[in-house]
Every structure is written in structure tokens, then in C-alpha cells.
């Protein structure tokens, strides 16, 4: 079974600075999808960014980018120019067909 | 579009009681999912459906049942509630759009407490 590990339970960053959240996963498959979801205090799950495993190019979405290292099974999220609204839980997720596995999450606090 | 809606938002059950968590989506999505999120943890897949009449187990199906009689609705049934089922429950759906084929759209969640 696939597993997802987020080794940083909590992180903090100053407003306008850059922060990187770590994620590793374990799978024997070669085709899959990886995601980062944001969960603010409202509890709503919001998709931040997605990476297809067959693509070598790292995904970017505005201030969010990933460093996807397939051989190392690593999928980190970089948030540039951090904003107060980025304060939330961040979950890394692995998906193959209909089986989605989430990590335990990293609580990110952006400080003014 | 309302997206994915869930009812109720909150519920307190006594041990041994039964209830159904409702989930409805108005995006004509084929795939629907139920997850649970325990305190301080990520989401875990309970059941999923690939279309009306077709359901399958996820990672943590014990103690739950589902049905999918229409494209829009995917209710989750708890037959004999136990304290271990205290959690926040999320419903999600996804379509077959080639561009966003793997993006799941989540409902707002139902917080369930079993005492």
C-alpha cells in the first residue's frame, strides 16, 4: 500500500519570505498523481497544486511550486512571498486510480 | 453551481445509534468519495463510487455502508455508531474532464461526535 510521510508537523515563516514543506511517499508504481491541499481553519479542502508523475517538469501555480524528485520519491512544496492568508494545514497526497492517500499534514503559520 | 454539499454540518450520536450522512453534487461527476479526518491527521478513504450502482471499499471501510442510486447522491451510513467513529467526514467528487481529470472537489465536511 502507498504511504505518504510529512516529517514537519509545524512550521512558521515571516510574511513575504519563502518556505518549503517536505513530503515523501512510498510506492512501487510508476504512474500516479501527487497533490498539495490547503486546509484553513474553515476546514475546506483546497487544491494548491498537482503533479503528474510522468511529467519531468515541476508544476507551478503563481507563488506555489513543487520540487518533484521521482527517483527519491520526494515531493516538496515551495511557497514564495508568503502571505498571512497562507496560514493553514497543508496536506500532501498521492493518488493512483481511485486510491488517494494523505500525509498527516504540516501546520504552517505565517507571521506578520 | 453549489458544488458538493453535505448535511448535516454537525451531529452528536449516542453509542449504538445509526445515521446517514448525506452528500450531493451538482457537477454531473461520475466519481464520488467519502473520507474521514481524525484530529491532527490527514484524510483516509472510506468508500468510493465510479458511477450509479457501483461502489468499492477504500482504506477504512469497516463500520460503514454506502449506496449510489443516482449520479448526484452518495450517502454514507453508520449502522452502530462507536466512539472510534468520532471524526470529520468529507465527501468529494471528480469528473472526467481531460484537463482536470484527477482534481477532487470537496464538500465542507460533517463533524460527528459519538458519545
* pLDDT tens-place string over residues A47-85: 999 999 998 899 999 999 999 999 999 999 999 999 999
- Whether B114 is covered by a domain: the verdict is no
Tell me which residue of B64, B9, B55 sits closest to B32, measured CA to CA: B55
Number of domains in chain B: 1
- Contact (CB<8Å) A98/B42: no
Residue B74 lies in a domain: yes
Output the domain CATH number for residue B76. 2.60.40.10
Domains of chain A: 3-111 (2.60.40.10)
Three-state DSSP at B60 gives coil
Q: Give B15 to chain A, closest Cα distance, Å.
A: 26
Residue B103: which pLDDT band, with cuts at 50, 70 and 90? confident
Going by C-alpha positions, the residue among B46, B105, B54, B112 that lies closest to residue B76 is: B46
Q: Which of A102, A60, A109 is nearest to A83 (CA)?
A: A109
Q: Does the residue B108 lie in any domain?
A: no
The boundaries of the domain holding residue B91 are 4-97
Q: Is B24 within the bounds of a domain?
A: yes
Average pLDDT value for residue range B30-59: 94
Distance from CA of A101 to the nearest CA of B (A): 7
Amino acid at each position: 500500500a502507498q504511504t505518504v510521510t510529512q516529517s514537519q508537523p509545524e512550521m512558521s515563516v515571516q510574511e513575504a519570505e519563502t518556505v518549503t514543506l517536505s513530503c515523501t511517499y512510498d510506492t512501487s508504481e510508476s504512474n500516479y498523481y501527487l497533490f498539495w491541499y490547503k486546509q484553513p481553519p474553515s476546514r475546506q479542502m483546497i487544491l494548491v497544486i498537482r503533479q503528474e508523475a510522468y511529467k519531468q517538469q515541476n508544476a507551478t501555480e503563481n507563488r506555489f511550486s513543487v520540487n518533484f524528485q521521482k527517483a527519491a520519491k520526494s515531493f516538496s512544496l515551495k511557497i514564495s512571498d508568503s502571505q498571512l492568508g497562507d496560514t493553514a494545514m497543508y496536506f500532501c497526497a498521492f493518488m493512483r486510480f481511485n486510491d488517494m492517500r494523505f500525509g498527516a499534514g504540516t501546520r504552517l503559520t505565517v507571521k506578520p | 453551481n453549489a458544488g458538493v454539499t453535505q448535511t448535516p454540518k454537525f451531529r452528536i450520536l449516542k453509542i449504538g445509534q445509526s445515521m446517514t450522512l448525506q452528500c450531493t453534487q451538482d457537477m454531473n461527476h461520475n466519481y464520488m468519495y467519502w473520507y474521514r479526518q481524525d484530529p491532527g491527521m490527514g484524510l483516509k478513504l472510506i468508500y468510493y463510487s465510479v458511477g450509479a450502482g457501483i461502489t468499492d471499499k477504500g482504506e477504512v471501510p469497516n463500520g460503514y455502508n454506502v449506496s449510489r442510486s443516482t449520479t448526484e447522491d452518495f450517502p454514507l451510513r453508520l449502522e452502530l455508531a462507536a466512539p472510534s467513529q468520532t471524526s470529520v467526514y468529507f465527501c468529494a467528487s471528480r469528473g472526467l474532464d481531460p484537463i482536470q481529470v484527477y482534481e477532487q472537489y470537496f464538500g465542507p465536511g460533517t463533524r460527528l461526535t459519538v458519545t
